[in-house]
Amino acid sequence: MVRRTREGDLVVLESPTYYGFLQILQTLGLRALEIPTHPRSGISLDALELALGQHPVKAVLVMPNVSNPIGASMSEAAKKRLVGMLAARDVPLIEDHIYADLQFGAAPPRAAKSYDRAGNVILCGSFTKTLAPGLKVGWIEAGRWRDRVRMLKFVASGGQNELIETVVAELLESGSYERSLRQLRRRFAVQVDAARAVIADSFPHGTRVTRPTGAYILWLELPQGCDSVALFERLLERGISIAPGPMFSATQRYRNFMRISVGQAWSERHERALREIGRLAAQS
């Protein structure tokens, strides 16, 4: 039977999590339960198991491969355990796979969905991060919620844009998409390294930065007492954009954290901007 969430229901998220998930939960009147997440290996499954035993969780929404903002990827054993744990409790897993194609490893990562035997995982992907942000083409493998998801998609956005879908399908079939992914992964890996080196050189002593498993997003912890919201406002006046830490938590945590994105073609201008963030962070 397909169940639906109701206002006030609890949904598990990683912490920190993508702010878009928080906005979705807020719009639907759902409550977030934040589970601690390791910067390299992803959500803590022990903490999740404990939470599932104590709270009436209705769904789990996570990014097992290249999460946003911390860039973590779960091991195969962990993905398998996650899927099994949720299937045993009949709690659906919503898997956001949007950055998975940008993972730095040689082979493409397996989705947690690949361990799903019960149709309990809803796998969501998109070409927003790999082809063009404005494209708005994605896909869902919704397991036993397929018909319901198809209907909700129709109601929410009135069907698909067939022209764009055909173009994307041709890019996939011709191999151009794969070739472009290889280039993107190489470019992002170099840019991430370059940005981490600038951060090590120019940010206040005690700053910590993630080493993401893919894509182009860095999550920074500034020394205690630094205020990323105030920093965001000062940087805005200079035309530099960061995402302050509290955006990534339902409970406004991470005041001394921030997310920066280094996806644009790296140039001296970007390096100067990053050094300026470090300089102002030291004063914040």
Ligand X SMILES: Cc1ncc(COP(=O)(O)O)c(C=O)c1O
The residues, ordered by sequence, that sit 6+ positions from 184 with a Cβ below 8 Å of its Cβ are 102, 130
The single-letter code of the amino acid at 242 is I
Q: What is the DSSP code string of 137-148?
A: -EEEE-GGGHHH
User: Which residue from 48, 60, 98, 111 is in contact with ligand X, where contact means CB under 6 A?
Assistant: 98
Backbone angles phi, psi at 145, to 5 degrees: -100, 15
Q: Among 122, 112, 43, 120, which Cα is nearest to 76's?
A: 112
**Nearer to ligand X among residue 18 and residue 257 (C-beta):** 18
Measured from the CB atom, the residue of 68 and 103 that comes closer to ligand X is 68
Q: Does 101 bind ligand X (CB under 6 A)?
A: no
Tell me which residues in 212-251 interact with ligand X (CB under 6 A): none
- The reply on whether position 18 binds ligand X by CB under 6 A is yes
Nearer to ligand X, 126 or 284 (CB): 126
Q: Are 54 and 89 in contact (CB under 8 A)?
A: no
Q: Which of 5, 128, 202, 261 binds ligand X (CB under 6 A)?
A: 128
Residue 261 makes contact with ligand X by CB under 6 A: no
C-alpha–C-alpha distance, residues 223 and 72, integer Å: 22
Q: Which is nearer to ligand X, 77 or 156 (CB)?
A: 156
Q: Which of 45, 51, 110, 138 touches ligand X (CB under 6 A)? A: 138
Query: Which residues contact ligand X by CB under 6 A?
Result: 18, 20, 68, 96, 98, 126, 128, 138
